[in-house]
C-alpha cells in the first residue's frame, strides 16, 4: 500500500541528536487553517512501504533515525507493521502527531516502536473547530496521559497565530500542562506567513507580548 507523499533524505533539525530522514505521510484527520502542508494533507501517497524501506537500507550507517511526519501518520492503517520493519533495520523513530489518535499512540508505545514524540497541543476545546476544523482537546489529553505514563522522551508544541489564539490562551495552555505534570519545554512557534496554507492565512499584524509569554513558553523559530 502506498504510504508516503514524500521523503526528506536528511535532516539534523527534526529529531533531537539524531541524523534522520523524514517520511511524509499523506492525509490528515484535521484541517488546521495554518497548515503549511496542504499538498501533503490533500495529496495522494505515491511512495510505497517497500520503496521507503529500500531507501533506508541504502542509508544504513549514514542515518540513525526516521521522523514520521505528514499529514498525520497515525491515520495510516499499517503504521505498526511499517514501524516494525523500520525498527528491524536498526533505526530509531520519532513520531510527529496531532494527538487525535491516542489509541494508535498507545499501541506504538506498547509495542516499543517509538523513541521520541513531538505532540501538538493545538488549542483549547472552544477553539479546536475554528483552528483545526475538527478534533478535540480531550483527545490531546488522552494522548498526553498515555505518553507521559510511558516515560518516553517527548515534547509539546503549539503554533501561535495571534488572531486565532490569544496570549491568555497560551498561558492557560501552559499552566494546564504544568498542572498535568509536564515539566519540559513548552515550544511555541509563531506562525509565519508567505507560504500556502490550508486556510490561506496571512501573518498577523497584531503585536505579540513576548514579555508576558516568556515565563510560560520556549519560543521556537
4 interacts with ligand SF4 by CB under 6 A: no
Q: Which is nearer to ligand SF4, 60 or 134 (CB)?
A: 134
Length of the chain, in residues = 221
Q: All 3 cell numbers of residue 164? A: 486565532
Phi and psi based region of residue 131 (left: phi greater than 0; alpha: psi -120 to 50; beta: remaining): alpha
Q: Which is nearer to ligand SF4, 41 or 47 (CB)?
A: 41
70 interacts with ligand SF4 by CB under 6 A: yes
Residue 139: exposure state from Cβ atoms within 10 A (0-12, 13-18, ≥19): middle
102 interacts with ligand SF4 by CB under 6 A: no
37 interacts with ligand SF4 by CB under 6 A: yes
Q: Which is nearer to ligand SF4, 59 or 72 (CB)?
A: 72
Name the helix (H) or strand (E) containing 83: helix 79-88
Q: Quote the least distance from Cβ 70 to ligand SF4, whole Å.
A: 5
Q: Say how many CA atoms lie within 13 Å of 88 toward its Cβ.
A: 9
32 interacts with ligand SF4 by CB under 6 A: yes
Q: Which is nearer to ligand SF4, 28 or 173 (CB)?
A: 28
**Cα separation of 40 and 48, whole Å?**
15
Residues 10-29 that bind ligand SF4 (CB under 6 A): 28
Amino acid at each position: 500500500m502506498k504510504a508516503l507523499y514524500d521523503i526528506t533524505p536528511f535532516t539534523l533539525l527534526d529529531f533531537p541528536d539524531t541524523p534522520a530522514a523524514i517520511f511524509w505521510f499523506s492525509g490528515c484527520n484535521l484541517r488546521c487553517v495554518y497548515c503549511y502542508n496542504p499538498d501533503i494533507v490533500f495529496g495522494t501517497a505515491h511512495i510505497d512501504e517497500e520503496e521507503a524501506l529500500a531507501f533506508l537500507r541504502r542509508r544504513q550507517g549514514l542515518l540513525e533515525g526516521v521522523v514520521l511526519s505528514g499529514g498525520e501518520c497515525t491515520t495510516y492503517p499499517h503504521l505498526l507493521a511499517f514501524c516494525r520493519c523500520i525498527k528491524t533495520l536498526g533505526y530509531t523513530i520519532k513520531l510527529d502527531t496531532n494527538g487525535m489518535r491516542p489509541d494508535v499512540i498507545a499501541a506504538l508505545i506498547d509495542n516499543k516502536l517509538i523513541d521520541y514524540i513531538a505532540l501538538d497541543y493545538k488549542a483549547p476545546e472552544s477553539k479546536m473547530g475554528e483552528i483545526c476544523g475538527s478534533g478535540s482537546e480531550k483527545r490531546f489529553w488522552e494522548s498526553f496521559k498515555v505518553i507521559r505514563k510511558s516515560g518516553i522522551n517527548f515534547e509539546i508544541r503549539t503554533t501561535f497565530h495571534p488572531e486565532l489564539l490569544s496570549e491568555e490562551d497560551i498561558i492557560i495552555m501552559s499552566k494546564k500542562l504544568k498542572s498535568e505534570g509536564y515539566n519540559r519545554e513548552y515550544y511555541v512557534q509563531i506562525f509565519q506567513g508567505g507560504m500556502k496554507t490550508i486556510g490561506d492565512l496571512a501573518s498577523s499584524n497584531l503585536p505579540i507580548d513576548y514579555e508576558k509569554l516568556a515565563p510560560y513558553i520556549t519560543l521556537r523559530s
